[in-house]
Amino acid sequence: MLAAALAVAIAVLVPVVLSKDDADPEPDEASDGPSSSEQVETDLGAVEEFPGLTRQHVAVGEEVDYPQSPPVGGDHAPYWLECGVYDEPVPEVSVVHDLEHGTVWLTYRPDDVDAAGVDQLAGQLPDNGILSPYDDQEAPVVITVWGRQLALTGPDDPRIALFVAEYGAGDTAPEPFASCHGGVDPSQLPPSGTTV
């Protein structure tokens, strides 16, 4: 009788113990999920915010010394740039006016992003966006709207789409629905130092 009871207990307990081992792997074994560094690269936790930006028009041709590279807002030119993809650096004072209108500015270091990468970035640019090279930024790619900026690892960084979805409507901008459409081409801008 005791032997029969022991056999039943073993038959019941062994599968329960084995299934518990399969269901609760050690933390080191649970590597199917993203690591903490991968999580940083798939959310917007690294977006920097810059409150209290001024937004006065400066004299035509006047330069502004912005504390961020690329700038995220501040005083700016009275004219803005037309939306689109530029293969040369664009005047900061004009793009900041675009940011005031709710434009998304996507910039890249030309030494770090090849032609295929530029094409990839252009394909992710929203209609109300500007893409341009920017030599003096720390990250290979940076995405900016008025008062918000995110450094990116490159053209394939999944946070580009997340940033555009979160901020692309221009909600952080003082004039969110003014758009970059109707702006000027950089070749039509007056030279730096021109006065009115």
**Local confidence pLDDT in tens for the 196 residues of the chain:** 544 444 444 444 444 444 444 444 444 444 444 444 444 467 999 999 999 999 999 998 888 999 999 999 999 999 999 999 999 999 999 999 999 999 999 999 999 999 999 999 999 999 999 999 999 999 999 999 999 999 999 999 999 999 999 999 999 999 988 889 999 998 887 665 443 3
| 93 found inside a domain | yes
What SS3 class is residue 162?
helix
Q: Which residues constitute the domain of residue 100?
A: 36-188
Q: And the tokens for 43?
A: 């959310």
Q: What angle do CA 90, 95, 96 make, to 5 degrees?
A: 140
Residue 16 has a pLDDT of 43
Residue 68 has a pLDDT of 96
| 8 found inside a domain | no
| 59 found inside a domain | yes
| 97 found inside a domain | yes
Cα separation, 81 vs 182, in Å, equals 8
| 179 found inside a domain | yes
Alpha helices in 41-168 (DSSP H): 92-100, 115-124, 159-167
What SS3 class is residue 84?
strand
| 58 found inside a domain | yes
| 135 found inside a domain | yes
Residue 164 has a pLDDT of 98
Residue 41 has a pLDDT of 65
Residue 136 has a pLDDT of 93
| 173 found inside a domain | yes
Residue 34 has a pLDDT of 45
Domains of the chain: total: 1
Cα separation, 191 vs 163, in Å, equals 33
